[in-house]
Amino acid sequence: MRPIILTHLNRWLKAGIISEETHKNIEAFEASQTSAKKTSLRWPAIISLVFGLHLFASGLLLFVAANWDRFSPATRFTQLLMMLALLHGLGIWCGDKNPKLSTALHGLGTIALGAAIYLTGQIFNLSEHWPTGVLLWAIGASLGHWLLRDWLQGALAAMLIPSWLASEWVEYARARTDGDQAVGVVMCAMLVFALAYLSARKNDSDPLLAKAMGWIGGISVIPLALANLVYNSHYRGISNSTCITMLIIASLIALLLVNVVRKERIVAIVNFVAMAWALPLCTVRFASWALYGWAVLGSVGFVIWGLFEERRERINIGIAGFAITVLSFYFSHLMDKLGRSLSMMGLGALFLIGGWQLERLRRNLNARTAGTGQ
């Protein structure tokens, strides 16, 4: 126990605030927490673990690549199987001794599965349809999560399933020579997945898979929203019924994936509202002013969502989205109409006054939450 905690406990005991029994219970709890921390990996060990795995995998790949042409097809395929068996076998062996190392090894084995799938197709000259390889990879990660109940396997599956859908749509559009429609479908579908993954978080006691999905959604939602807004301002929008059907299917798949980690009715309601905001970005051509208004509406929606579920990251995303919208409007519609000096002064005032007010608003809104968000 830290000395400062012991000092406070003794002071509270003398003042009669806590009883002798409470004092002993707190001491026992803090001692157990300290012993648990001693047995867990510290950040130097984690960094060493991550770099060691990367270096080992890189060396293995370099060795195989340097001697690839010398091996027969049977030897190449055997090497791929041995690589997967070695990584997952080591993960099973480390399961009880070091769960974190086991998770990392199984994750590395699932990542290597993707390379094994494509190299197998190259070895045996199988017909080329590369989205099928992504599908097999996603199935492997999903099976890994089902068998191991491992958050890293689930996170890989959560990234690979949208990647498979995107790759299938790109191939579909390439066959139909309709590239603009495919771009719109892919970007809008990825935005729907990001919004859905962001809704996986509820509080700090969430399982690791929910936290990983929340991070995936939180990191990607703003870039994907910007990409969809740019698409809407440059292209006519999606009118093909097949593409619209694809978007609906993507929305349902995203909702099903989130339902794995958070089975609540509010999640479905929030996702339907989010999809109602996201889908028009690729199906309806907005006027310039309406597009900025739609972006502001989305930012306000994020703030309301964060206040409702007491999640600070959603409030922060909403504030960041609003700031980016205001800056984009200034650069696109105001800056070129002002002189050089006035435009610079206006930009400075926007950063100073607007940034200060937004930061105050962000802090006040975050203060209203119960502290469950990070």
**What pLDDT was estimated at residue 238?**
66
Domain boundaries, the chain: 1-35, 288-374
**What pLDDT was estimated at residue 38?**
45
**What pLDDT was estimated at residue 193?**
93
**What pLDDT was estimated at residue 37?**
47
**What pLDDT was estimated at residue 4?**
66
**What pLDDT was estimated at residue 240?**
65
Residue pLDDT, tens place only, 315-366: 999 999 999 988 888 777 677 666 666 777 777 777 788 888 888 888 888 8
User: Nearest-CA neighbor of 103 among 87, 114, 115?
Assistant: 87
307: exposed, middle or buried (Cβ count in 10 Å: 0-12, 13-18, 19+): middle
H-helix or E-strand containing 58? helix 43-66
pTM exceeds 0.75, yes or no: yes
User: Which stretches of the chain drop beneath a pLDDT of 70?
Assistant: 1-4, 31-43, 45-46, 49-50, 53, 57, 64, 174-180, 236-242, 333, 336-341, 370-374
- DSSP label of 336: G
